[in-house]
Amino acid sequence: MEQASILVIGGAEDKVNQLEILHTFWKRAGGADARLGIIPSASGEPGLIGGLYQRLFENMGCKSVQVLDVREREQSEAADWLPRLREMTGIFLTGGDQLRLVTLLADSVLLSALQCYREQGTLTLAGTSAGAAAMGYHMIAGGGSGESPHPALVNMAGGLGFLPEVIVDQHFHNRNRVARLLSAVVMHPECLGVGVDEDTCAVFEPSGQLQVVGRGTVMIVDAGEASYFCEPQPYSTMPISAHNLRVHLLRRGDRFDVQRRRVLPPLTSYCPV
């Protein structure tokens, strides 16, 4: 099995044709030996969505696939999560509402068990759409689009903390969310902003590197060397001001060193005309 990674998927990943991103998760979680858990708690139809992903991964040839259908807070507090997850090699968080997901999982026995096996390096984790948004310590819970960046454009909340140094936004260019990610980064400049397009995945490796899989792009917003910030007032609609932000646009095969905040040579030099 390859080293355990965290896959941040921008949503609307291909489920019909090549299944590149889902296949990447399957492979990272052990391939034919993968024992997967699907957590559809973010969805308003968890049974339907959980069953969809279960069939997709079963068709890839996993050793086992279970739907961990947590719909009530009491279920995530069950005492047996640590032994239940011990044999699993991968966990997939589906899309839906990231606030619902965090409400059910935050500070729970289930989340502690996930963090335990993540720290041991035995569990590959993936999240799509809402599941991706919840990966950071600071989470974009909602907001607008198509406006100038300002604090009221983005609603922030606490996430699950698997990627504490990162703020994730998803369906990124597809839903015109550049301004709200910029707003979030100015409010939390210690974090790296990561905007992921649909059918695109940012793979966070244990080495601290990020690489891109899929057909779209990943935008990195880095405020680490910013020379000036306005003082953003919560809920203000006044446009923000920030100088010397660094922005990187990455596509399939491109890599980024999250710890050192620098672009690495891509895995491929292919550049279509």
Residue positions annotated with a catalytic role: 129, 147, 171
Pairing of strands 90-93, 255-257: unpaired
Q: Is 12 helix (H, G, I), strand (E, B) or coil?
A: coil
Look up residue 273 and give its amino acid. Answer: V
Tokens encoding 203 = 């793979």
- Residue 154 host element (H or E): strand 154-158
Question: Which position has the token pair 């960046």?
Answer: 149
Look up residue 197 and give its amino acid. Answer: D
Q: Is 170 helix (H, G, I), strand (E, B) or coil?
A: strand
Measured at the CA of 43, the angle between CA 42 and CA 48, to 5 degrees, comes to 140
> In whole angstroms, what is the distance from residue 146 CA to residue 135 CA?
24
